[in-house]
Amino acid sequence: MDDQRTVSRERAARTANGLLVLLVGIGLILLGPITVAQSPDAAVNIAGGLGLALLGLFLLCGLYALQPNEGVAILLFGDYRGTDRATGLRWVLPWYTRKKISLRARNVTSDKLKVNDRRGSPVEIAANVVWRVEDSAQALFDVDDYQAFVNIQIDTGLRDIASHYAYDLGEEEEGVDQELTLRADAEDVARRLRDELANRVRVAGVAIDEARLAHLAYAPEIAGAMLRRQQAEAILSARRLIVRGAVGMVESALKDLGERDVVQLDEDRKAAMVSNLLVVLCADREAQPVVNAGTLYG
């Protein structure tokens, strides 16, 4: 079935400077009583004065004011005739309908959503989005409520983005070709979220200036377990670093002893020395000195 939806496009409306019309309208209202007082014919006095006053009031009914970054959509019996973006006091014929719309940037922080990441882990996520109306005609006439439409699309886009990324890398994935994650690659995730939202809200004439994650955490039911996992991974990583450094220090010590001919060590003595040094360097607690009264071979 073909899409019969009509896409609206903003165009400039034909309006006038309201300051001049304001002066003319006030002048006509003041001229009415003067006409009544000066005319020799009473009937003409009343008709002429009333007509001038009504004409002045008629002109004043077409006045409206616009602030910077505001617009007014002009309609004639439901037919869109253009949008006026000129600031200040403006005027249009009173029988034209006027719909004011803000063109300012708006900042929205979404509610915290509970979604599953790419691995199926439940996470809590929220986004901060800066958006603005770019095409007033599309915003007013192509969607029912453009503000509600944007809010819904933010939630939908955020759920979709979260499903394409894992919250974090597992230990088994470190050191290989790493995928992007929600926690470690915030800039890439934000860029993709902005592009995703821009495509979704384009039908409403809305532009996305910025989109970033405002909240990211594991869901409460698994937060404790994932915290323990992260702590365990941090401990293992620290242990690897300690052992790697200790091995280097033992190797350097044995090399210096051999080059300086401080002591002659056979393979058994080297093994014992390596064992003792590794225990001292890798232990969680301070080593306690032990006086050996015997010999290695005693």
b/e per residue 50-66 (b: at least 16 CB within 10 A) = eebbebbeebbebbbeb
Predicted pLDDT at 70 = 94
Q: What is the mean pLDDT of residues 146-165?
A: 92
Q: What is the mean pLDDT of residues 17-27?
A: 90
Q: What is the mean pLDDT of residues 9-17?
A: 91
Percentage of the residues of the chain whose pLDDT score is greater than 70: 66
Which tens digits make up the pLDDT trace of 226-273? 566 666 566 666 667 766 766 777 667 667 666 666 666 656 666 666
Q: What is the mean pLDDT of residues 90-100?
A: 93
Rg (CA), the chain: 39
Predicted pLDDT at 242 = 67
Whether pLDDT at 140 is above 90: yes
DSSP 182: T
DSSP 11: -
Using pLDDT thresholds of 50, 70 and 90, give the confidence band for residue 289: low
Whether pLDDT at 151 is above 50: yes
What are the chain's domains?
16-100 (no CATH), 106-218 (3.30.479.30), 224-282 (no CATH)
Whether pLDDT at 36 is above 80: no
Who's near 112: CB < 8 A, 6+ residues apart? Answer: 124, 125, 126, 215
Q: Is the dihedral of CA 212, 214, 218, 219 positive or negative?
A: negative
Q: What does the mean pLDDT of the chain come to?
A: 80
DSSP 204: G
Distance in angstroms (rounded) separating the CA atoms of residues 33 and 30: 6
Q: How far apart are the first and last CA of the chain?
A: 96
Between 8 and 134, name the one with better pLDDT.
Answer: 134
Which tens digits make up the pLDDT trace of 184-200? 888 999 999 999 999 99
Residue 24: both structure tokens together: 């003319």
Residue 254: both structure tokens together: 């044995």
